[in-house]
Structure 1
């Protein structure tokens, strides 16, 4: 894309550099791309000897990708001699030995000599030959130095713009002290030992909840290995914040911990009745009211829901497998495990016909799709939580309260 990576809010770097001389270029596109390469590295003076397709050239302007400031000041000449008449140091780029007794240098050395010559008040220029056969012997003879590139001898031909780019790169790098145009922000401060220990303590606590560090005789070795993993990372403070968040998100489920207040049975029943009345078989994404009521239920669980959710997230049989108030198709069960294909419905005392009908429709819909629906009363959960968990594990539906 034209201009990709260009920050137009910044001024162009235009330094006193060598003149680029293109000898009888055949394609306007190559002239434009050469100008673009010059613009990349702060070169501004372009001379052209007898361009085949004349000048100005629309194809060159298109290929220049915004380097109009160079094309607008192009100098045209009929002969190479005229184009380099004012130059005190001339380099001829070529991939062929012209059997001429003169120094041969690489692009880096040519850039160094150009910088020195220009700094002393001289004029340096670089000759680039035709696309098909480059410079002839007479043209190369005009130069003080031969420049050739360290390329594979068996495939040494470069595109005209590529050759200009390589010379411009070496000159610009030397002229600017190899300064890069931007730097990335430094990493945040390295995490302190105290922060690392706090994270590790939290990680161990969550791993203990799911009985990961087993058997007991290997616990110490496992802890050392885990600690070494994070020590080798040399994490920053931000890394520790992120990792802590990851651990807690996994431990508490995708929707996060239950937040908000605590509903009693009557309040939960009324809220579920409202949800049933507004849903009428619609998907949660299709109604803002349904979505809002479901979110309210999730953030304001009853005591029984809190108790059951805590058990489901800490019991190793169910840890990280259940989700609260999560849509399954067009319905939202209280708890669902996609991996176990189990849905849990909590039955509050005093539910009205609307809530019971809604639950029946939801349970049938889930059962038709291979889910085992377990209905638990709030009394069952609060009276004997272990027995309720056994019912969930066995997938056996329970009688309503």
Structure 2
């Protein structure tokens, strides 16, 4: 997967761009960052005039962030004159005013000229000076134009790589017509008035059920305001489907773990015992009619199960460690921590002997797979949950 916007599987921009000439750069890191900025905007030709620390430079490679294809093709020169000899249009970047009779342009105007020059088959170049004091007068004198940036006059000095990046950005923008590398995917078709009306009718019906639209004298105004919220959105068909689902989910109530049950705690305990007894010796306990019963069991936890699950999720000692499972099947405990390899089983009072035997077999099966099994009495959980959690903390501390 490509990271940070870099994707080598995509073709690079193949454009005839200007030559970037760094005059006596001091730090290898700056050269590398200049190469990175060049790579961002499709510039490939880099020339160095007497780099202070020599060439090649390992610091440049480290800071280039993958722009090795530019560093591998660097051209070295002993003088600025030699480095710019083949340029028919040369720009000198400078933050200082030079008493020289030549045009001073901004980066956008310079980029437009460079695009026109290279389109005609000529060669353009951009001079960048030393980190400490920039270009000297005689070096600026070689250029056809001076480029300066619209910056804060009281703090006009740019980092070398920043200056290269600004020029590269303006050139690439004009060379490509400002085309962006990607856009948002096409949205689905805009929802029809009929679809929007059906959604709104559904929304209003649910709001009426909870008596949201009151007092009666404000109902019409509230409906107009609500309708305008959705018409301003210009929703698509997919948007309407999503909104429909959201409204219905809220209206019907949450169906997640330990929420939204329809059975009381005692009824849920009996259901749990019934399923556990039926699962004993049934090879296909998770199939057929058991699946529906399992879903019912998950939505209707016992009082002990709900209490323990709430504390396991909220207590800092255990939050995020345990998952709640539907205990249907020969090898599925009530709660499990896969990272800590601990399984928790709730034991309800008055369970049949067959269920207890099955629990013992499950414990052996889990322990053979390096899980530690902790049995908890449901009555104890309801009576003193703090003590149960303290015991569990001790067990966790013993896990290697």
Tell me the TM-score normalised to structure 2 length.
0.68
CA contact (8 A) 1:295 1:325 kept: no
CA contact (8 A) 1:107 1:167 kept: yes
| Bigger mean CA deviation after superposition, 128-137 or 324-333 | 324-333
Q: Which residue matches 1:121?
A: 121
- Cα distance change on mapping 1:29 and 1:278 into 2, 3 Å: farther
Aligned counterparts of 2:242 and 2:300: Cα–Cα separation in 1:
26
For 2:99, what is the secondary structure of its paired residue?
A: coil
Aligned counterparts of 1:238 and 1:83: Cα–Cα separation in 2:
59
For 1:230, what is the secondary structure of its paired residue?
A: helix
For 2:20, what is the secondary structure of its paired residue?
A: strand
Q: Are 1:102 and 2:102 matched, yes or no? A: yes
Residue 229 of structure 1, CA deviation: 2.2
Aligned counterparts of 1:60 and 1:165: Cα–Cα separation in 2:
16
Q: Which residue matches 1:342?
A: none
CA contact (8 A) 2:269 2:302 kept: no
Aligned counterparts of 1:160 and 1:34: Cα–Cα separation in 2:
7
Q: Which residue matches 1:134?
A: 134
Q: Which residue matches 2:262?
A: none
- Superposition pairs of residues 110-259 of structure 1, within 5 angstroms: 110-255=110-255
Aligned counterparts of 1:136 and 1:329: Cα–Cα separation in 2:
82
| Bigger mean CA deviation after superposition, 98-107 or 198-207 | 198-207
Count of equivalent residues: 307
Q: Which residue of the other structure, out of 284, 296, 300, is the alignment partner of 1:325? A: 300
Residue 275 of structure 1, CA deviation: 4.5
CA contact (8 A) 1:30 1:60 kept: yes
- Cα distance change on mapping 1:210 and 1:135 into 2, 3 Å: same
Aligned counterparts of 2:304 and 2:42: Cα–Cα separation in 1:
61
Unaligned runs of 5+ in 1: 257-266, 280-288, 302-322, 334-351, 356-360, 370-401
Find the structure with the greater CA-based Rg. Answer: 1
Unaligned runs of 5+ in 2: 257-266, 280-284, 309-348, 353-376, 386-400
- Cα distance change on mapping 1:91 and 1:269 into 2, 3 Å: closer
Deviations 1:365-401 (A, max 9, x none): 55778xxxxxxxxxxxxxxxxxxxxxxxxxxxxxxxx
Residue 204 of structure 1, CA deviation: 1.9
- Superposition pairs of residues 2-401 of structure 1, within 5 angstroms: 4-255=4-255, 271-275=271-275, 296-297=292-293, 299=295, 324-326=299-301, 330-331=305-306, 354=351, 366=382
Residue 216 of structure 1, CA deviation: 3.3
Residue 234 of structure 1, CA deviation: 1.8
Deviations 1:320-339 (A, max 9, x none): xxx95146653589xxxxxx
Deviations 1:123-162 (A, max 9, x none): 1111000000000111111111111001110000011011
For 1:181, what is the secondary structure of its paired residue?
A: coil
Residue 213 of structure 1, CA deviation: 2.6
For 2:12, what is the secondary structure of its paired residue?
A: coil
Residue 278 of structure 1, CA deviation: 9.7
Deviations 1:28-72 (A, max 9, x none): 010011111111111111110000000000011111111111111
- Cα distance change on mapping 1:221 and 1:362 into 2, 3 Å: farther
For 2:90, what is the secondary structure of its paired residue?
A: strand
Aligned counterparts of 1:98 and 1:353: Cα–Cα separation in 2:
97
- Cα distance change on mapping 1:365 and 1:122 into 2, 3 Å: closer
Residue 19 of structure 1, CA deviation: 0.7
Aligned counterparts of 1:219 and 1:362: Cα–Cα separation in 2:
50
